[in-house]
Every structure is written in C-alpha cells, then in structure tokens.
Structure 1
Amino acid sequence: MNVLRFAMMAAICIGGFFPSASSDALVGDKLYRNAHIWTGDKKAPRAEAIVVKGARIIALGSSEAMQAHVGKNTQIINLAGAFVVPGFVDNHVHFLVAGSDLTSVNLQSATTPEGFKNQVAEHVREMSANQWILGGNWDHELWGGSLPDKTWIDDVTPDNPVAVRRLDGHMVLANSYALSLANITRDTVAPEGGVIVKDDRGEPTGILKDNAIELLMKVMPVPSAEEMDKALAAASRAALSNGITQVHDMGYDEVGGLTWNNLEAYRRARRNNALKLRVYSFMPLTEWPRVATYIEDNGRGDDWLRWGGLKGYIDGSLGSGTAWFHQPYKNAPDNSGFAVIGSTKLSNMIEGADAAGLHVAIHAIGDRANDNLLDIFESVSKKNGVKDRRFRIEHAQHLSSSAITRFAVLGVIPSMQPYHAIDDGRWAENSIGADRIKRTYPFRSLLDAGASLTFGSDWFVAPLSPLEGIYAAVTRRTIDNKNPDGWVPEQRITVEEALRAYTSANAYAGFMEKGTGTLEIGKLADFTVLSENILTIEPVNIPNVKVLRTVVGGLDQYIADEGPVDLGTVE
C-alpha cells in the first residue's frame, strides 16, 4: 500500500497516473473533472480533476490522466471550469444557537429605537403567551450608540419574556417580564465579571452584560431535543450553502447555551447518519473534569464528530465596553474593561485541563486580556512540560506589540474572525484611539511573525460566509464604504494566505490536518466548488462569487440550482 501511495503521489507531479483500470483499488466511485483546482498542497498546488473512492481522494491530476481511474460504475461530474478549493473550515461558530436564530427575531437591521420596537412587536404576534423571545443580534452603534432600554419594548411584550442579545453576545436586553422572572431588581448585585445597567433612579434598564446574563439563564427553558435537531438541520444547510465542510462549534453559555445539549444533538445526528458536515464540539472550560471523564467513557469521536476542546473567557467585548485593556477607553476614561474571571482561577483550570490532555481555547479581546492569557499559557506549558497542545486565543483582536511576536514563540494559535475588522472598523477608533487601532486585527503582523493564523466567522455574531471573511482580510474595506483602500491597510493579507487560514491552518487548529485542510491522496474528500477563481479576480468581487457545490467525505451535500450538471454514470 505504501508503494501504491508513493506512485500516486508521483502522479500529481507529472500530470497524471495511468494504472490499469481493472484494479478495483484504483477505480473511483466519482471523478470530478474539468476544473481549476487549488489543492492547498504546496508540493502540488494545481490539478484539473479529483478521483474519489468512498470518503477519500485516491488520485488528482489532469482530466485526461484521471480517466484511467474510471470504471463502469464510476460517476463523472463535469465541473465546467469551476474553481475548487479544499473545504472551508470555520474556526469559531455558535452553531446551534445560530441555527435557532434563523427562526427567532432578527434585529440586525434595526437602525432606530422605533424600528427596534416595531420588529419585536411584529415577531411577538406569532408567539404564544409566556413563550420566550430570543435571538436579536442588535447593534446600538446603528442608531448612535445609546443602549436600548426595557421601556422600548415593555408595552408590546406584556405577555412574553424577552432576552435579545447584542450581536457580539456580551450584552442582552431583557424586558420587565423577564427581569421579574429572574428576580432582578434595583437591589440585585451583579455577579463578578458582570454588569446590571441601572438608570438614574437605580432601576435596571434591562441591559445585562457578560456574567450578569447568567441570572436570566437560570429561568430560561431548556430547548427540547426536537428543537435542537431542527436548529442543527437549519445551521447545517446554511453552512453547506456557504461551502463550509467543517465547523469548530464553541457552544454558547450566555443565552440559550446548554453546550452539553449541543453535543448530544450532534451525537444523535451522527447515530442517525444525519450529520452533513464535520463538527469539532467545544465544551465550557469550567466543565473540564466532566469532559475528561466523558472522554474516558466515550472516546473522542470520529472524523465526522469530535470533542475534547474547551472554550473559556477572560474578558468581554469591545462593543459592550467590557474588553480588558491596559489603558482606559478613549470614549470612557473611567473604564478599562475588566476580566470576567480571576487570573489564578483561570490559570488553575487551564493547567488542569491541559494536564488531562484536553485542548484549550480562550476568548480574549483587549490587549491586557491577551497579554495576561499569553502569560498563563506560557506558565502552564512550563509546568506541564513539552507536548503538542495547540493553545488557542479566540478573537485575539487588540494586541500589544509584544503579544504579536509571542504567538509564534509560544506556539499559540490566533483564532480570528476577519469580518469583525470591517464591521468594528466603522467605530472602533472612537472607542480606543488611533494608537491601539494599529494593532487591531493585525493579520499581516501575525503572519509575518510566524504565527499560525486561522479564520472563521463567529456566526451568529457575524455572517457565516468564508468568502466574505476572505474579502474582509484581503481588502479591509469597512461595511460603511468609508475605507475604500482598507482600514489599517498595512494589515491586509493576500487571497492565498486567507484561503490557507480557512483551510489547512484551521485543520491544524482542530488537530485534523492529517485528514483535511488540503486536497491530497489519502485525505478525506472535502472540497468546495466556486463559480470563479478567487485567486485571479479582483478581491472586491469575491463576495459575489457563488458556491456551486460542497462535497464532504465524497458526498455531494450541497449543489446550487445554477451549478454544473451531473453527467451521470459512464456506461
């Protein structure tokens, strides 16, 4: 088998391999031909055709050469000159919450308090009495920066509790009904790492930040298995239509969390052969002893569904004013943000989880949060000894100069979401000033320093599309069209670098590089077919490119209506 593999690898370099088609081992189930293929493999970056047998790739090369792998039952798919890349991997999603959001109230388009209220009122008309209204994803920057208030919606939601989140997930607006259920009053003291916003009279406005959101979670209903399954199906359809073949699901433990229920929904789908894309399911860092025991009893999963990753937090978000900085916010001189957890407690959890062989990823936004977390990672690595641990910092948005070099030195992975740069770029300088902006979403600097930069969406917080993420990283044009040459343009990267961040780098960040991330013989047949070659078109046109087909493990999980036709079985 090693000799066969060597021969097939050699075939890529010479444009094709011509074995006898009588050998069943070399006859493919499918031949995808007539394409422009970017393999992501630096040794053999281009091909025209892929041969798939079962779930894996058995050959790549020219369309002519790959005919040698066609048998009487081989299905031939003509890709009609389309562009093929390794399947996109999203390094950071809140998958099932985002799936349920597709049927929840959506406030992303609300640009005035009146619009906010009207959209909630319209949604509540479809709800039963006492049914929770969730979702939201509002952005107060769209109407000038003032936070919403329960009085905006109380009169249109008298019979329904409301908990609608800001788009970053670090603030929630609750109506009076929900506050009453949670017994949040003027006398309620916010938990450590959280804020209950109160008005001049000391009454809660309905805004809860970070750990204070947990007060609502205690009274919220647990989603049923049927609701979870529907959310998974909806989220999967959305991901596959965007060319995504694998996600790293960070769960969501603020509102509608219940990350363990997420894992059970994934396992239920896997047992029923209903999982359509690959999932790496992260659990809360606080649950690390339970996760370690769970792995002892259940293993770590398979190529379709894996677990053993842990997600934690050190601070909040820039938009909520809770990201932790060394210096105060420019627009709030008495506020530098804060840590949502004590450094000693966080360090002890990371040390225990790492010693147990678990994979740790921590959310950090502000420069002080990132510096503090890098210190913890360095300390834990020294205490627990050298091993392949692949610590990750989720978002890594605002970095000190020293932090940029430390990522590579410590082997810590910056797990970033480039769309945030073109969204936050509209207003971030007003929050933290011109100097810190130079090191905000510093893609170019991290790559130049040797860090293993990885990309994703942070969906529901931002759009799911990897093409929009690539566009954001390459152009850095803010969504208000006010930075046509790029916001902090020196941090732009190339399309190929962004592609690697969405494919091979993400596979590495999830311990899946042996099976996915590049198109090579023996790897899983996960790839995405695009309408245009994004390496050659103008980067500003990348968001207009269409996903024509998404293949996961050799299965056509998504085919666009306007996609190339299937030429059928060879007679």
Structure 2
Amino acid sequence: MRAVFLILAIFASFAILACTSSNSPRPETIYTNASIWTGVPNAARAQALAVRNGEIVAIGSNAEIAKLRGESTAVVDLNGAFVVPGFMDSHTHFMSGGFQLASVDLRDAKSPEEFSQRIADFAKNLPQGRWLTGGDWDHEMWGGELPRREWIDQLTPHHPVFVNRLDGHMALANSKALQLAGIDRNTPDPEGGTIVRDPQTKEPTGILKDEAMSLVYRIMPDASEAEQDEAFARASAHALARGVTQVHDMGGWGDLATYRRAHTRGDLKLRIYSVVPLGTWAKLAEYVKQNGRGDEWLRWGGLKGFVDGSLGSTTAWFYQPYEDAPETSGLMTTDTTALRNWIIAADSASLHVVVHAIGERANDWLLNVYSEAAQKNGARDRRFRIEHAQHLTRAAIARFAELGVIASMQPYHAIDDGRWAVKRIGTERIKTTYAFRSLIDSKAALAFGSDWTVAPIEPLLGIYAAVTRRTTDGANPNGWVPEEKITLEEALRAYTSGDAYAGFQENRLGTLEPNKLADFVVLSEDLFAIDPVNIPNVRVLRTVVGGRESFIAQ
C-alpha cells in the first residue's frame, strides 16, 4: 500500500513540475481553498486547480497549485466550497424549454379550476390571434381526469390554445385550435396517435396523443430567428444557474441552426450535443460529410427516434394492458418497419443512434433491433442508447451490458411518476421500473438527464431522486421501489463521466484532471457530508465552462 501511495505522489509531483518548468506558460486562473471531488476513481480530494486556455493544467493541494501562480494569474478563493465536474444532461428538449420559460406554466396546477384560470390569465396579456402554448400540465395533480376543451373555450375566444402535458405525449387544444387544424368528429386517428373523443357524442374532447398532436403542430406558425435566439438565451441562463455545463438536445434541424448562429456570434456559454430526428439520417450523413461533426462547444452526429409514447399518456408500449385503461397496452408511435430500417441504415453510416423506449415491450423490441444492426454492420464503437429505458423486463436489464447499450435515464421521473404509476401498471411491473441499481449491478453504462421540460433541468434534484427515490407527494419517505436506489457517488458519475461517455467525450470531460476541459461546478455544501434528503437545498454558487465563469450566484 505504501508503494501505491508513493507512485501516486510521484505522478502528482511530475504533473505539477511539468506545469512549472521555466518555459511553461502560467495559468490564467487558479481556484483554491476548495474541497474538490475529481470524479477520478479512487482519487483523493484535491484543494485547488489551475486553468489555462479552457483546460485544467494542474490539480492538487493549495500549496502545490500556488507554486504555479504567475504575475497575471487570477486567484479565486472558493472559501472551502465543494467542487464537482460540470453536470451534464443527457436528454433535454432545450429550445422547448427556452420557449416554455416565457409561456403559461401549468405544471403545479392542482385543480381543473386552477388549470383553467392560469390559461385565462395568460391569455389576457397576449395579442389577439396569438397562439397560447406551453403548459406542462399533469392531470394526476387533480386525480387523473383529462382536461377538455370546454374548460377553456369561453376563457380563450380570441386565441388558439395548444398546451401539452408535461411528458410531451399529449396536449389539449381548444375549439379554435381544432378548427384551424381541421379536426372534427370525422377526422380519423393518425397512425401512431389518438384523437380522444367523448364516448357519447364522439366529438373530439381536445386531447390529442402522440402523432395526433402533429395535426396541430403542422399548422402552427414557426418562431422567427430572433424568437429562437431569445429562447436559447433564456434556456442557457436557466441551465447554467443549475450547474449544467453541457446538454444533449433531442431537437431538430432548426434548433441546430440556432446553436450554430450562437456559436458564430460567440454566444455559446454551455456545450451542446445537437441530436436531430432519426428519419433524417441520410441528410445528417451528408451534413457530416460536408461539415464534420462540430467542435468541443457544439457537436452533431446523433439521431433520435421513438418506439412508443409515455406512461402518463397510457401510450407506452407494454405486453399487457394498463390496469386503469384495460382497452390498451400502449402504441408504437413510429412504424416499426421504417424505424428498424432507419436504425440499421443510420448505424451503417457511422451515425450515433439514440431511441426513445419506455414500455417493456418497446425496450425489448429496440434491444433486438440494436442487436440486429450490430450483427449486420459489424463491430465498432457505436454506443447505441435507449432514452428513458423506463420499464424493463428482468431479461432486458442484463442485455444492456451484453450489447453495450447505454441506458440514458431521468431519475426525477421516478419520484414524479411514483405517485401514481402503480395504478397504471400494477405492483408487479413496477418492480423493474427505473431500475438504476439493477442496471449498474449488471455492468450497464448509465447516463442521467432531465428530459426538460418534462422534468426540471436540475441535476441536484436528479441526484436526490436517484439516491432517495422519495416521491414528490411525500408518500414514500423510505423510497419508492427502494431496492433500486443507488449511491451518491454512482449518481454523480451518471451526471458527469456517464454522460461524457454517452457523448463520446470521456477523454475530455466527466472528471477533473490535467488536459481535460475546465468544466466544473461550485456547490454550497459537500454532498457527501449531508443527509441526502437535504440535497435539494444545496445551492449552485458558480458554474465554469471551458474556464469561463458562466454563472456566479448573487
């Protein structure tokens, strides 16, 4: 053991000396007097780190790093604060989040009356004819009754309204929006979607699920470039204040164009991995040929597809019917023949395939297709991902590691859905719901995110959720499906090095060590020194991205 410590000490000294040679430039900034969890396995805590040209050049004790100081080096005293690698979010709808920040907020509306009144109040400040969107409502907040257009029609006579459930898999349209979209009792359900109808009159209630939502989206006006840029700026500021230094954005080509404009202006303050729709794989393959895959601030090359819908909308695809909706076992939102062909073709073009699957049948189907694609296209470092991997069979859990498939999951969903999931799928199926512990034990790669705006883009809340599994209603103080809790260190890794691996960046991000990018977060409390139930109370004091201080708490 003494020999091991000696080797580590020699290595650390060599790293410091390499930075202090007479010909070596001095750091631009030194951060000192901190407790630094580097994320490097089995490494001791550090006290200080030095930054130059957006990279960490040294990390160690206060005394060691102080030796590197030059005449122009800035020194930031962190006063004993706790430092971790920059939090990453492996699954966001980032531009939607930026727009939602300026839209009606229905997430915590606790009754039909409050839901309706918030829409009415917001409409009063909108010019006539302007679409009222956003929402992020949750009908489980008032017992599970789906909203109807009659709730809001008289309150919004001059505005088309289309407000989505928080999972993004169903939305409520008022009568004006339905009329503009040409939806009436004779409109057939589109493939992969459902128009919910009144059981007596057969008229649309206003609720549209999954692909049926496209009937409205296709007639809504596009946001201007200026509006898109403003939304991106709002989203960036919001994320940085919560310690997020990079997002993997499940967006579209217009979103990528917005990010490229910001990059050209020098306005990127956090890193973006821009993922576009899987059905456009041929376009992306050509785009990569012409433009490469971006740089360390903005990258592309990923494709997002969908197998099924969501649990909250009863459209996640299961083998057995829902307990509270026995007429359905969910649906496939994309034609499975087309989806299979896209996955295999995109993989053959060396693109990065990430696909949404929530129900156990959807996950099994996707694992089978991933296995087929790997066999057809040969061995390579492809890093297939399943986004959500929410409800799994026992057999599926083992297959993630066997196939090298990354489980890209959102722990906050567990403490949100846990309030009501048992009524949807019963006591047996929830045993392998959000199976973080089982996946890690099976040696699967785990990456964490938020699915913002479905859930808050707050990694600290996600860590709290993964470690405690205490549902948001307070009904499960010892954790919902507590067997699937994970440790604090495991949760931190899923938000840092796990996300770096999920984006092919483990050589540059995810841990704090020399020659990696200087992305880190300063927190008000040492997460390892407090009761995990208090993690939501921890504040982000400073967010540093590429050596730039992108957020400082006031």
Separation in 1, partners of 2:85, 2:187: 51
Q: Say if 1:16 and 1:61, in contact at 8 Å, map to a contact too.
A: no
Q: Which stretch has the larger CA shift, 25-34 or 56-65?
A: 25-34
Tell me by how many angstroms 1:217 deviates: 1.2
Alignment-derived partner of residue 208 in structure 1: 208
Match of 2:4 in 1: none
Match for 2:58: what amino acid? Answer: A
Residue 131 (structure 2) aligns with: 132
Matches within 5 A, 1:507-522: 507-522=500-515
Counterpart mapping for 1:499-514 below 5 A: 499-514=492-507
Question: Within 2, Cα distance between the matches of 1:480 and 1:146?
Answer: 18
> 2:407 — aligned with what?
414
1:284 to 1:45, Cα distance in 2 relative to 1, 3 A = farther
Q: What is the match of residue 287 of structure 2? A: 294
Question: Does the alignment pair 1:230 with 2:236?
Answer: no
- Deviation of 1:23 after TM superposition, in Å, equals 2.9
Per the alignment, residue 217 of structure 1 pairs with 217
Tell me how far 1:27 sits from its aligned partner: 1.3
Distance 1:204 1:80 in 2: 60
Distance 1:159 1:49, change over 3 A: same
Post-superposition shift, 1:104?
0.3
SS of equivalent residue, structure 2 residue 179: helix
Cross-structure match for 2:529: 536
1:331 positional shift: 1.3
Percentage identity across aligned positions? 57
Equivalent positions of 1:163-562 (< 5 A) are 163-199=162-198, 200-251=200-251, 259-561=252-554
Structure 2 residue identity aligned to 1:242: R
1:284-307 Cα offsets, whole Å, 9 max, x none, are 001111111111111111000000
Q: 2:440 & 2:19 partners in 1: Cα distance?
A: 45
SS at match of 1:237: helix
For the 8 Å contact 1:50–1:57, the answer to whether it is kept is yes
Deviation digits for residues 393-447 of structure 1, max 9, x if unmatched? 0000000010000000000000000000000000000110011110000000000
Q: Is the 8 A contact 1:288 1:353 kept in 2?
A: yes
| Partner AA of 1:38 in structure 2 | W
Deviation (angstroms), 1:335: 1.2
Partners of 2:540 and 2:553 within 8 A in 1 = yes
Task: Please say if residues 422 and 476 of structure 1, whose CA atoms lie closer than 8 Å, have aligned partners that are also in contact.
Answer: yes
Distance in 2 between residues matched to 1:276 and 1:479, nearest whole Å = 32
Distance (Å, rounded) in 1 between the aligned partners of 2:479 and 2:101: 31
CA gap 1:90/1:540 in 2 versus in 1, 3 angstroms = same
Does structure 2 conserve the Cα–Cα contact (< 8 Å) formed by 1:15 and 1:62?
no
Q: CA deviation at 1:449?
A: 0.3
Please state whether the residue corresponding to 1:69 is helix, strand or coil.
Answer: coil
Contact 2:19 2:58 (C-alpha < 8 Å) held by counterparts: no
Please tell me the residue identity of whatever aligns with 2:31.
Answer: Y
Deviation at 1:330, TM superposition (A): 1.1
- Cα distance in 2 for partners of 1:313, 1:12 equals 47
The answer as to whether partners of 2:19 and 2:57 remain within 8 angstroms in 1 is no
Rounded Cα–Cα distance in structure 2 between residues aligned with 1:167 and 1:111: 14
**Native 8 Å contact 1:174 1:207 kept in 2:** yes
Structure 1 residues 103-114: aligned runs within 5 Å: 103-114=102-113
Q: Is the 8 A contact 2:304 2:356 kept in 1?
A: yes
Evaluate the alpha carbon distance shift between residue 438 and residue 423 of structure 1 in structure 2; reply closer, same or farther with a 3 A threshold. same
SS at match of 2:366: helix
Task: Report the AA paired with residue 106 of structure 1.
Answer: D
Q: Take 2:434 and 2:122, find their aligned partners in 1: how far apart are those partners?
A: 36
Equivalent residue letter for 1:161: P
Q: Give the match for residue 143 of structure 1.
A: 142
Instruction: Work out the CA distance in 2 between the residues paired with 1:463 and 1:299.
Output: 32
Quote how far apart the aligned CAs of 1:45 are: 4.2
Looking at structure 1, the residues matched to 182 and 312 of structure 2 have their Cα atoms a distance apart, in angstroms, of: 27
**d(CA) in 2 for partners of 1:507, 1:321:** 32
One-letter amino acid matched to 1:79: L
SS of structure 2 residue aligned to 1:312: strand
CA distance in 2, matches of 1:15, 1:461: 47
Q: Distance in 2 between matches of 1:499 and 1:38?
A: 10
Alpha-carbon contact 2:498-2:510 (below 8 Å) kept: yes
**Per-residue deviation, residues 1-22 of structure 1 (Å, max 9, x unmatched):** xxxxxxx996664597346857
Q: Equivalent residue of 2:529, what SS?
A: coil
Tell me which amino acid in the other structure corresponds to 1:231.
A
Q: Is contact 1:26–1:69 with CA below 8 Å preserved after alignment?
A: no
SS across alignment from 1:372: helix
Offset of residue 46 of structure 1: 2.1
Provide the rounded CA distance (Å) in 2 between the counterparts of 1:21 and 1:509.
35
CA–CA distance in structure 2, aligned partners of residues 45 and 245 of structure 1: 24
How far apart in 1 are the matches of 2:23 and 2:481? 55
User: How many Å apart are 1:186 and its aligned residue?
Assistant: 0.6
Structure 1 residue 380: Cα displacement: 0.6
C-alpha RMSD of matched pairs (Å): 1.4
SS in 1 for 2:443: coil
8 Å contact kept, 1:20–1:68: no
Residue of structure 2 equivalent to 1:100: 99
Structure 2 CA distance for aligned equivalents of residues 57 and 237 of structure 1: 24
- Structure 1 pair 163–56 and aligned structure 2 pair: CA distance change class (3 A): same
Q: 1:522 to 1:332 in 2, by over 3 A?
A: same
SS of the equivalent of 2:361 reads helix
CA separation of 1:318 and 1:25: change in aligned 2, threshold 3 A = same
Instruction: Give the drift of 1:332.
Output: 1.7
| Counterpart code for 1:301 | G
Q: Deviations over 1:443-488 (max 9, x none)?
A: 0000000001110111100011100000000000000001000001
User: Which secondary structure state, in structure 2, belongs to the residue aligned with residue 164 of structure 1?
Assistant: strand
In the comparison of the two structures, how many residue pairs are matched?
A: 547
- How far 1:24 moved relative to its partner? 5.0
CA deviations 1:190-218 (Å, max 9, x no partner) are 11100001112111111000001111111
Determine the C-alpha separation between the residues in 2 that align with 1:16 and 1:389.
Answer: 33
Name the SS for the 1:51 alignment partner: strand
What's the secondary structure of 1:111's corresponding residue? coil
| Counterpart amino acid of residue 514 in structure 1 | N
- 1:112 Cα offset (Å): 1.1
CA distance 1:194–1:523, shift in 2 (3 Å) = same
C-alpha separation in 1, matches of 2:188 and 2:377: 38
Partners in 2 of 1:419 and 1:485 — Cα distance?
16
Aligned position for 1:569: none
Determine if the alignment matches structure 1 residue 67 to structure 2 residue 66. yes
**Paired residue secondary structure (2:380):** coil
1:342: how far off? 2.7
Instruction: Give me the TM-score of the superposition, normalised by structure 1.
Output: 0.94
What's the CA shift for 1:542?
0.5
TM-score of the superposition, structure 2-length normalised? 0.97
8 Å contact 1:194–1:340 — kept in the other structure? yes
Q: Which runs of 5+ in 1 are unaligned?
A: 1-7, 252-258, 562-571
| 3-state SS in 2 of match to 1:363 | strand
